[in-house]
Amino acid sequence: MKKTLVLLVALICATIVISMKQEELTLPEKVRIEIMSSIDSMQNTLSSFENGVKQQVNTTALKYQFAQVRASYKQFEWFLAHIDPESAQLINGPPLPRLDESLPSIMEIEPEGLQVMEEILNEDVVDYPALTYNIQKLKQHIIDAKSMIQSVALSDRIILEAIRNNIMRIGTLGISGFDTPGFSDALKESAKSWESAGKALRYYIPLFQRTSKIQSDSLKLLLQKGRKILSASRSFDAFDRWGFTKDYINPVYALIGSLHIQSGIEINTEVSRKNRIIRYEAPTLYHTSAYDPYGYARNKYERPSQSKINLGSMLFRSTDLSKSGIMSCASCHDPQRAFMDGHAKSPGSVPHSFTDRNTPGLLNVALSPRYFHDSRTTFLEEQIEHVVSSSIEFNTDYFEISQRLSQDVKILEAFKTAYPSESGPINATTISSALSAYVRSLVSFETPVDSVLRGEKSVLLTGKNLQKVKNGFNLFMGKAACGTCHFPPSFSGLVPPHFTDMESEVLGVPTHPTSKKIDPDLGKGGIYKYKSPIYAHAFKTPGLRNISRTAPYMHNGAYSTLQEVMDFYNLGGGIGLRIDVPNQTLPSEKLNLTKKEIAEIIAFMNALVEKPKY
């Protein structure tokens, strides 16, 4: 009896000591402990899966074990993907080869990780050696991630930013099935990710309660309901992505940001003056205020200036920039046509000449870390230099342009106002800077779609029209898989939630609608630094905002209508047209969209348009 009593007292004392130690931990350290536990869980599930592979158990059993591995990764992906995107890429990146852009030579990096293992498991005959190889690589990546997370300095700011980013990751990538294309567990995995980030957030609820009880209570309720909706979903295609984005993703994202700022915890703009692509203060990513296009500028500390924008607007419309004196930027980028010209390929400055590719619109084009259809340049300033020197376009140089512009008193004064510290204000740097400032001012997220998804009213989206657009969005993000390449909220190849990568795709676009031959343009694969078979005929994924005003479509202007474009995708791209495209990245399986479904997707894209205001 005495021994039992002593043991009981000892146990109580130990519990009290442990509890006291837990109380001494900071909130970030408590979150770290949970993350480390989640990593341990993934290591355990991966070991079970590895044993199943060694024993070559039946495919059904292997797929079940693999689903557990993926689910365990979703428990800490929210944090890892935020602080170390490269590690997240190695663990769960797209199953496509890529180039190591840090090297001066062409070096292909073979895909690895969970999505590659998915593809192996979905083959008719499972390649067990390949699975074993990928398991070994994955085990090492998890060990590396665990070591990094164990040692990284954590703060309340980093934790809250990671949680908020994860909400947008679920709303853009998760519910589209982007990172689990081989299985149909995207919604279950999104539920697991939603729940795991929510567990970390619960540590901050007491602080949020003191900050704003009403907002804190709303956040708790939305998190609970959102998890239930994701968990209860049985059909991937039938899931209401429009409603989930409007009623849960955007409100939760807004509440976390608001409570974070109100609580007095620093935000990223208070840590660094450097421009960031996403402005944390914005309520949702469907607000114009969410984006700082100077986050992609050559000078990451540059600030927008109205005098530079005004000057850039003048230069944009000036024919003095071309040798012929008849071409301006607006010749091909007509503001009344969403900054394109309606031609398959634009007329050049030289008589009877045409540009090599279709002219893209410029609205929101500044939201990109790559420019041109072939991604050849990194900054807008570089893009302008290419146009200036092109023999088909401006066919001149900055010295000649500077001399011409200096003769215009109005423009000369505008340069002096915009660049007062320059001794000779008109030069290559100031010309490209002013034009870039103007193009960066053309960022706007004010379509009827944005308004409704933000929870506002739109007179253009009501009744049957709203239902069509809603259905189109759900198809776009679900069955049609458009959203796995044209990522919301930009609906371009700009990958959320970090917005640092711009995807390109090999679609197998023909020379014209009835052709059975691929367009000979090599695109990205024709650029020296990307000269690899994996990028042959690859082109940057364009934005779809204002697409109803920017026909014709594709890099070569092959298709005149959105109906033709949708028919191309519905058949499975070039391969679906029986064109030989060995490196096509677009899935070649037919989408089996009905005429009604295609019409609804087009209705959604037509709603992604703004009234002309430039």
pLDDT at 107: 74
Neighbours of 194 (CB within 10 A): 25
Q: Are 246 and 455 in contact (CB under 8 A)?
A: yes
pLDDT at 40: 97
Question: What's the pTM?
Answer: 0.93
List phi, psi (to 5°) of 450. -60, -45
pLDDT at 183: 64
Q: How far is CA 490 from CA 8, 288, 433, 474, in A?
A: 61, 11, 24, 16
In the three-class reduction of DSSP (H, G, I as helix; E, B as strand; rest coil), residue 502 is classed as strand
pLDDT tens for each residue of 325-335: 999 999 999 99
Q: Which of 256, 154, 156, 269 is nearest to 208 (CA)?
A: 256
pLDDT tens for each residue of 428-462: 999 999 999 999 999 999 999 999 999 998 888 99
Question: Which two structure tokens, joined as six digits, stand for 562?
Answer: 């959105």
pLDDT at 16: 46
pLDDT classification of 1: cutoffs 50, 70, 90: low
| Helix (H) or strand (E) segment spanning residue 479 | none
Stretch among 182-186, 495-499, 573-577 having the lowest mean pLDDT:
182-186
pLDDT classification of 303: cutoffs 50, 70, 90: confident
- Domain 295-440 indexed as CATH 3.40.50.2000: no
- Does the structure show a pLDDT above 50 at 17? no
pLDDT classification of 100: cutoffs 50, 70, 90: confident
pLDDT at 20: 42
Q: How far is CA 435 from CA 309, 378, 393, in A?
A: 7, 16, 16
pLDDT classification of 10: cutoffs 50, 70, 90: low
Q: Are 514 and 344 in contact (CB under 8 A)?
A: no
| Helix (H) or strand (E) segment spanning residue 567 | helix 562-571
pLDDT classification of 232: cutoffs 50, 70, 90: very high
Q: Which of 454, 161, 156, 163 is nearest to 279 (CA)?
A: 161
More confident call, 612 vs 240: 240
Burial of 167 (0-12, 13-18, 19+ CB in 10 A): buried
Neighbours of 402 (CB within 10 A): 18
Q: Are 315 and 321 in contact (CB under 8 A)?
A: yes
Question: Which two structure tokens, joined as six digits, stand for 537?
Answer: 């005929």
The C-alpha atoms of residue 571 and residue 255 are separated, in whole angstroms, by 42
- Does the structure show a pLDDT above 50 at 18? no
pLDDT at 3: 54
Mean pLDDT of 378-402: 94
Fold of domain 451-606:
Cytochrome Bc1 Complex; Chain D, domain 2 (1.10.760)
In the three-class reduction of DSSP (H, G, I as helix; E, B as strand; rest coil), residue 374 is classed as coil
Mean pLDDT of 293-300: 91
Mean pLDDT of 190-197: 96
In the three-class reduction of DSSP (H, G, I as helix; E, B as strand; rest coil), residue 574 is classed as helix
pLDDT tens for each residue of 505-538: 999 999 999 999 999 999 999 998 899 999 999 9
Q: What percent of the chain has pLDDT over 70?
A: 95
pLDDT at 233: 85
The C-alpha atoms of residue 162 and residue 428 are separated, in whole angstroms, by 40
pLDDT classification of 588: cutoffs 50, 70, 90: very high
pLDDT tens for each residue of 165-179: 999 999 999 999 998
Mean pLDDT of 233-240: 91
Stretch among 95-99, 216-220, 426-430, 435-439 having the lowest mean pLDDT:
95-99
The C-alpha atoms of residue 447 and residue 558 are separated, in whole angstroms, by 27
Q: Are 382 and 439 in contact (CB under 8 A)?
A: no
* DSSP-assigned letter for residue 360: P
Q: What are all long-range contacts of 331-340, with beta carbons under 8 Å and residues at least 24 apart?
A: 332/359, 332/393, 333/359, 333/361, 333/362, 335/612, 335/614, 336/612, 337/361, 337/549, 337/550, 338/362, 338/363, 338/546, 338/549, 338/550, 338/609, 338/612, 339/363, 339/365, 339/442, 339/614, 340/550
Distance of CA 80 to the CA centre of its chain: 17
pLDDT tens for each residue of 335-349: 989 999 999 999 998
What mean pLDDT value characterizes the chain? 93
The C-alpha atoms of residue 353 and residue 365 are separated, in whole angstroms, by 25
- Does the structure show a pLDDT above 90 at 12? no
Q: What is the largest CA-CA distance in the chain?
A: 105
pLDDT at 427: 95
Mean pLDDT of 147-154: 95
